[in-house]
């Protein structure tokens, strides 16, 4: 059967923001339609309208030429709509099986849960995805990547006629991405309508048949994948080429004294790691998933226990038992997992910006509201956060703007060392460019910056030096002038 999904003149307005403005296009079954655009272009807003989370201000959408109007996600699901958002929507203390069959748990005649059938049915789906997890595993005990796959299996199980993926691969390894794409290929052959949102060019050209470009809430272009290239897509999205992003940066070529000196650090999978960071330097950390990059930084930051080695901060030995201690001594960390470890969902931009410094802005035991407001206003202005005001719920911002707020929180602590773990994950080229400029400006102020990134062009284009890790150890170090994807990957796969 040839299914169609048509958007006609969709508009969506929020207070002070026009998120979508007369967006129209059609998606057909048996194709993967990629939706591309900068953060804030309206991609996720459009998906939330399709899913019944939002109601359009005007316009309409049709499935198989029938007008639809879903008032809730429940109605959308019942009509065969499946949306997989970048931010996971799982219950961590329940099992994988219970999450997959959340609203359709099999029960016996007695009314009790039929656990053997539940686990058997769930394991059948898990095996289709070729994952090394069990249906009885608790979600909180499996990796972030596997949690994302559970989110996908949860929607896949319902056999929807329309399925939309919103940055589904942000936390997946290459092998897991390949498995996902195999599943998507099967769904396409079954005649399903597939919408795919991603900022990763390689994926777009690997999996997509057509591409729709959105910019500032408006439709820009609809084209076949075979008729375009990455350079054209970037120009349509942001108005400049990909190579310009790093060439335009105002770099800091004056590095000061050693501010952080790590010697023979051991913590969990991290073994005997040593490196230095200088004032005003941008130091990159590259490596494959599980190489120990994030774990190294968590140990320095006091989030994980240090089992051996020394950490010198400004020439003094420091072993932090809690992140609050690290913050007080001038270390700030922007975590990789924006949802679970970064933003405080349901709270305002103001609350998210100042949460780490409340003890510093108290007056007679009460928060100095004027100071809190001033700090937040400065962060919004300095980091160009796109929002009508500081009281907006952070969960309603685009991924790029959420990342800027988290960065603003870190900067509010006046750090000497700033650790950025995957700072542009799930963020478009335009927002990346802004964050790169912010990082370079901070380096020029003398802050020592550590950037962990899985995107090789990012570490090569942004960082003064790149340390490569493999199997919990440092496998090599390269100056920026020495870096190449081949060299970094060779070191990342080294058996050290």
**Per-residue DSSP letter, 95:** B
3-state secondary structure 263-299: EEEEECCEEEEEEEEECCCEEEEEECCCCCHHHHHHH
Q: Which residue has the tokens 């958002």?
A: 85
| 395-434 residue pLDDT tens | 888 777 888 888 888 888 888 999 998 888 766 667 778 8
CA distance 338 to 330: 21
pLDDT at residue 338 in the model = 66
What is the pTM assigned to this prediction? 0.60
From the DSSP assignment, how many helices (H) and strands (E) are in the chain? 17, 22
Tokens (6 digits) for 353: 């910006």
Model pLDDT, residue 65 = 92
What pLDDT, on a 0 to 100 scale, did the predictor assign at position 406?
A: 84
Contacts of 175 (CB under 8 A, 6+ apart): none
Distance in angstroms (rounded) separating the CA atoms of residues 93 and 224: 43
Ordered by where they begin, the domains of the chain are: 4-240 (3.40.50.300), 246-492 (3.40.50.300)
Cross-strand pairs, 26: 6
Q: In this predicted structure, what is the pLDDT of residue 62?
A: 94
Please measure the distance between the N-terminal and C-terminal CA atoms of the chain and give it in whole angstroms.
Answer: 54
The pLDDT of residue 247 is: 78
For residue 282, what pLDDT is reported?
A: 95
| The predicted structure's pLDDT at residue 222 | 94
Whether 30 and 188 have beta carbons less than 8 Å apart is answered as yes
Rounded to the nearest angstrom, the gap between the alpha carbon of residue 353 and the centroid of all alpha carbons in its chain is 19
> 262: part of which helix (H) or strand (E)?
strand 258-267
- The position carrying tokens 């020592």 is 448
Q: Are 480 and 296 in contact (CB under 8 A)?
A: no
- Using alpha carbons, select from 33, 41, 19 the residue that is nearest to residue 427: 41
Alpha helices in 395-455 (DSSP H): 399-412, 429-444
- Spell out a b/e string for 306-343, using b for 16 or more CB atoms within 10 Å of the CB, else e: beebebebeeeebebeebeebbeebbbbbbbbbbeebb
What stretch of H or E contains 36?
A: strand 32-36
Instruction: Report, as ranges of residue numbers, the positions in the chain whose pLDDT lies below 50.
Output: none
């Amino acid at each position: 059967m040839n299914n169609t999904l048509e958007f006609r003149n969709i508009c969506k307005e929020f207070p002070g923001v026009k998120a979508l403005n007369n967006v129209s296009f059609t998606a057909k079954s048996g194709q993967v339609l990629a939706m591309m655009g900068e953060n804030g272009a309206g991609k996720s807003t459009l998906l939330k309208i399709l899913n019944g989370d939002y109601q359009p201000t005007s316009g309409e959408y049709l499935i198989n030429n029938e007008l639809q109007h879903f008032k809730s996600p429940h109605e959308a699901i019942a009509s065969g709509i499946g949306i997989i958002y970048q931010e996971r929507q799982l219950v961590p203390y329940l099992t994988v099986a219970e999450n997959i069959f959340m609203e359709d748990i099999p029960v016996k005649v007695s009314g009790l849960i039929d656990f053997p059938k539940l686990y058997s049915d769930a394991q059948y789906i898990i095996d289709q995805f070729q994952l090394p997890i069990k249906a009885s595993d608790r979600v909180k005990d499996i990796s972030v990547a596997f949690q994302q796959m559970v989110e996908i299996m949860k929607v896949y199980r319902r056999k929807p006629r329309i399925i939309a993926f919103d940055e589904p691969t942000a936390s997946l390894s290459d092998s897991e991405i390949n498995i996902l794409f195999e599943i998507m290929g099967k769904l396409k052959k079954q005649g399903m309508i597939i919408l795919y949102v991603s900022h990763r060019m390689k994926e777009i050209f690997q999996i997509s048949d057509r591409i729709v470009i959105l910019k500032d809430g408006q439709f820009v272009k609809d084209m076949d994948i075979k008729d375009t290239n990455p350079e054209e897509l970037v120009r349509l999205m942001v108005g400049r080429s990909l190579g310009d992003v790093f060439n335009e940066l105002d770099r800091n070529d004056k590095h000061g004294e050693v501010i952080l000196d790590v010697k023979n650090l051991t913590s969990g999978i991290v073994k005997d790691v040593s490196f230095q960071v200088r004032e005003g330097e941008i130091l990159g950390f590259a490596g494959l998933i599980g190489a120990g990059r994030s774990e190294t930084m968590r140990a320095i930051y006091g989030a994980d226990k240090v089992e051996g080695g020394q950490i010198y901060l400004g020439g003094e030995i420091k072993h932090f038992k809690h992140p609050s201690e690290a913050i007080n001594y001038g270390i700030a960390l922007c975590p990789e997992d924006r949802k679970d470890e970064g933003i405080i969902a349901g709270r305002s931009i103001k609350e998210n910006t100042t949460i780490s410094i409340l003890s510093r802005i108290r007056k007679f035991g009460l928060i100095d509201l004027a100071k809190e407001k001033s700090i937040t206003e400065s962060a919004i202005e300095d980091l160009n956060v796109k929002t009508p005001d500081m009281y907006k719920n952070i969960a309603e911002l685009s991924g790029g703007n959420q990342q800027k707020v988290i960065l603003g929180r870190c900067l509010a602590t006046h750090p000497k060392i700033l650790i950025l773990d995957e700072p542009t994950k799930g963020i478009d080229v335009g927002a990346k460019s802004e964050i790169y400029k912010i990082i370079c400006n901070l380096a020029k102020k003398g802050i020592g910056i550590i950037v962990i990134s899985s995107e090789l062009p990012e570490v090569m284009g942004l960082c003064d030096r790149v340390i490569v890790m493999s199997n919990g150890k440092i496998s090599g170090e390269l100056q920026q002038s020495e870096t190449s994807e081949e060299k970094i990957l060779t070191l990342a796969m080294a058996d050290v």
